[in-house]
Structure 1
Amino acid sequence: MSFTRLQAVVDQHLEGRDALRILEAGCGSASHLRFGPGAHLVGIDISERQLDRNGALDEKIVGDLQSHPLGSGYDLIVCWDVLEHLPRPDDALENMLASVAPGGLLVIAAPDPASGKGLATKLTPYRVHVWAYKLVGFEGAGQDDRGPFRTHMRFAIRPARISRLASGLGFQTVFLEFRESGMQSSLRSKIRLVGRAWERVRAIVRRVSGGRIDPAATDFTIVLRAKP
């Protein structure tokens, strides 16, 4: 995915807004977008340790995104690699959508649960996820509130369904892009499934699936805009 394209979409739709009020939903210890000067950055996470590691936040909330009152009037809400870990992602989605200011944005990044990687993640035990993280160099994987985190991977988080749910609440989808996850790319490099070999695998899967599945399209990013 091009972060440049995503950043450009966010900047375009928020142009002219001063002192942005931003919520990082399930923020963890880092941010994925750039925010202009004067932005007030609020972060909510269920892990106090993750919040303690995040030095970019102006305000920190320990709480469950599915049920914690978020308030309202956020110009931008960013939810990055969070929904797949929730047993009730619809509750979190509705909670966030209700908190976006008129004309504001909700940015969601998540694995596609119908992708090969999504299905593999859903069907394999947690210890396999920890092993995969360690294989690509994350020595502290699964320790001290660090990833990988346990996943539910509900099919409710498919991008088409998110778009329909948001549309029913007055939101417009202004950006949707599929990409290969960094984890899958790192794993492929580790086992040397790269270059022509990887392209052959992609071609075979696309042919067998009638073009419906691309092994490189494991994750997605969607941007939803509230009515002005």
Structure 2
Amino acid sequence: MNESLTIFTSITASYTYSSELRLSLEMLQQTFPHANWIMHTPDSTLSLKELVSLNLPPAGYILFIKEPAMLASKEMYPLLKKHLEQNPETQIALPNDPANARIILTPNYHTLRGFEQFSQQLTQYDNAPIGYDGRECWLFLISAQSLSNLNLPDDFFELPHQLPAEQTMIIPQAYTHPFYNYYRETRPDILPFVPEKIQSLLDIGCSRGGFAATVKKTIGCRVAGIEINRHEAEVAQATLDALWVGDVLSLDIHDRFDCISCLDVLEHMPEPEKLLSKIKQWLTPDGNILLNVPNVGFWAVVDDLLAGRWDYVPAGILCNTHLRFYTEHSLRQLLDSCGLTVTLIEKHCIPIPEQILTGFNSYQKSGLDVDYENLATNAFTVLAKCK
């Protein structure tokens, strides 16, 4: 019998301004096309608990999603539902996630097609369900009947913590990939590239200020940020020494900085030359530009293209708001044309899977040029100075 599915979730004010978050919501809605969606919005006069009470279905299943910034496999809901149907002692079923799936199978996907392939592979394993282990919960399934019998907390995502572990089960083969930390990145991977002994840093596209705050804590320098999303900027305000809110190209800043970081921003600009020109004006005479830029020549993208796929997603190399795409060659050309000298370029490499590597080897044997280093490079971190 086809049981109805009701989905309760909350969206923040950032969904109004972020095309990435809106795409994430749209993709999730496409995954559950027949579900009844009930969304708690920033302008709602009711709490989520009140919203649930007013819209609680008499039967069927309820999926609670903390925030719809995630990918969910098409197999996820059927697997969670099947477990609840076959195990009446279980009240709540949770999916697996990237951090914990590696116990079974190491995630090695970087595109939507890769996510789909990995999710399907995971279903082939017969690992038994796991009692709730305290991991962060951002999604769970419960039957309407079970929910009606529980004493509900104000925060529904506390339910897995309140129930006995044997009543809350994690289904290893059901898979999700969350993006809900999209604006919370602190970028520890980039910290080693910040020049030593700088007195000031400006982070363009600072979001909630996580990276700049980490630099301040580590180096002790003055930090500032620029952020176009005013809701995320409100969070950054508390941690930064200075903050400008708005379009970076329209801002008039008279301060100068020893280092200006531009992490995963350049590819979002329709005219990156204008941004680099602006950055040069804000640098001290011996200042550095710190860039991080994804590589469109990465093996996962090339493999997708060979299969006829190019799928935009909310984050990553094929983010839906990327307007420019770079390889090392085109990135160096851009910087040189803007009067910048590259002093360091770090290639962040991820090994090419054996099966895909075999295919590339065949291309090379047939006489085609194959740049293996470029194929293995996921992103570039670059330090540059004015010529």
Size of the aligned set, in residue pairs, is 187
CA RMSD of aligned residues (A): 3.6
2:31 is the alignment partner of 1:31: no
Deviation at 1:161, TM superposition (A): 4.0
Q: 1:219: which partner in 2? A: 379
Relative contact order (C-alpha < 8 Å, sep 6+): which is higher? 1
2:274 is the alignment partner of 1:95: no
- Identical positions, percent: 22
- In structure 2, the residue corresponding to 1:223 is in which secondary structure? strand
Distance 1:159 1:71 in 2: 32
Distance 1:113 1:81 in 2: 13
Match of 2:234 among 47, 52, 61: 52
- In structure 2, the residue corresponding to 1:71 is in which secondary structure? coil
Match of 2:248 among 22, 41, 65: 65
Q: 1:173: which partner in 2? A: 342
Distance 2:280 2:211 in 1: 20
Q: 1:140: which partner in 2? A: none
Match of 2:194 among 3, 6, 10: 10
* Preserved CA contact (<8 Å) 2:297 2:375: no
Q: 1:43: which partner in 2? A: 225
* Preserved CA contact (<8 Å) 2:200 2:223: yes
Distance 1:98 1:203 in 2: 48
After superposition, the C-alpha distances for 1:22-59 in whole angstroms (9 at most, x for unaligned) are 10011112207634554211110110122223343111
* Preserved CA contact (<8 Å) 1:77 1:106: yes
Distance 2:243 2:188 in 1: 27
Q: 1:190: which partner in 2? A: none
After TM superposition, the score normalised by the length of structure 1 is 0.64
2:330 is the alignment partner of 1:154: no
Uncovered stretches (5+) of structure 2, i.e. residues with no partner: 1-186
Q: Which amino acid letter does the alignment assign opposite residue 34 of structure 1?
A: V
Distance 1:66 1:113 in 2: 25
Q: 1:141: which partner in 2? A: none
Distance 1:98 1:202 in 2: 44
Distance 1:76 1:113 in 2: 26
Deviation at 1:95, TM superposition (A): 1.2
Distance 1:74 1:206 in 2: 46
Deviation at 1:159, TM superposition (A): 4.0
Q: 2:15: which partner in 1? A: none
Q: 1:163: which partner in 2? A: 332
Aligned in 2, Cα 1:10/1:37: closer, same or farther, shift over 3 Å?
Answer: closer
- In structure 2, the residue corresponding to 1:24 is in which secondary structure? strand
Deviation at 1:97, TM superposition (A): 2.3
After superposition, the C-alpha distances for 1:160-179 in whole angstroms (9 at most, x for unaligned) are 44434444555321111222
Aligned in 2, Cα 1:42/1:4: closer, same or farther, shift over 3 Å?
Answer: closer
Distance 1:89 1:170 in 2: 13
- In structure 2, the residue corresponding to 1:98 is in which secondary structure? helix
Deviation at 1:7, TM superposition (A): 4.6
Q: Which amino acid letter does the alignment assign opposite residue 210 of structure 1?
A: D
After superposition, the C-alpha distances for 1:170-226 in whole angstroms (9 at most, x for unaligned) are 53211112225xxxx7xxxxxxxxx9x823423533652633254431211111023
Distance 1:72 1:102 in 2: 13
Q: 1:204: which partner in 2? A: 359
Structure of larger gyration radius: 2
* Preserved CA contact (<8 Å) 1:43 1:59: yes
* Preserved CA contact (<8 Å) 1:73 1:100: yes
Q: 2:74: which partner in 1? A: none
Q: Which amino acid letter does the alignment assign opposite residue 97 of structure 1?
A: K
Q: 1:107: which partner in 2? A: 290
Distance 1:82 1:72 in 2: 21
Uncovered stretches (5+) of structure 1, i.e. residues with no partner: 134-147, 186-194
